[in-house]
Amino acid sequence: MLVAFSVAPSGAHDSQGSVHNAVAAAVRVVRDSGLPNHTDSMFTTIEGEWDEVFAVVKAATEAVAQWGPRVSLVLKADIRAGRTGELTGKVERLEAALGRARDVTE
C-alpha cells in the first residue's frame, strides 16, 4: 500500500511563523521507520503493509503534536494487496507512457 500524507500543527508556530520544524520532525519519523518513502513539497509518501504504514503516520502525527495544540492531517491511500515497489514503479510507468505519447505526437 502507498500512503501519501501531510501533517502540520495548527494554532502555534515557531519564532519565524513557519511550521517547517514540525514538518521536519514528522519526516524524521518516516525516514527513521525504514519504510520506502519520498517527500516532496506537499506530501510524504510511504510504502508498506497497513499496520506498519499507519503506525508511522500515527508516530509522525504525534511528533507534530509537540508543536501545537491542534494537528491537521491529510491522507490519501492506494491499497493494492500483494503489490510492492509501487513508490517508484508508478512513476516509471508514467514516464514510459509519456515517452510513448511523445513519440506518437512527433
For the chain, domain boundaries: 2-105
What percent of the chain is helix, strand and coil (3-state, nearest 5)?
Answer: 45, 25, 30
| pLDDT at residue 13 in the model | 58
| pLDDT at residue 88 in the model | 92
User: If one looks up domain 2-105 in CATH, what number appears?
Assistant: 3.30.70.930
> How does pLDDT run across 2-37, given as a tens digit for each residue?
999 999 998 755 555 578 999 999 999 999 999 999
Report which DSSP code applies to 106.
-
What is the value of pTM for the model shown?
0.84
Quote the CA–CA distance of 85 and 56 in Å, as a whole number: 18
If one counts every other C-beta atom within 10 angstroms of the C-beta of residue 99, the result is 10
* CA-wise closest residue to 33 among 9, 60, 10, 11: 60
Cell triple for 75 = 491522507
Identify the band that residue 83 occupies on the pLDDT scale cut at 50, 70 and 90. Answer: confident
Q: Is 73 helix (H, G, I), strand (E, B) or coil?
A: strand
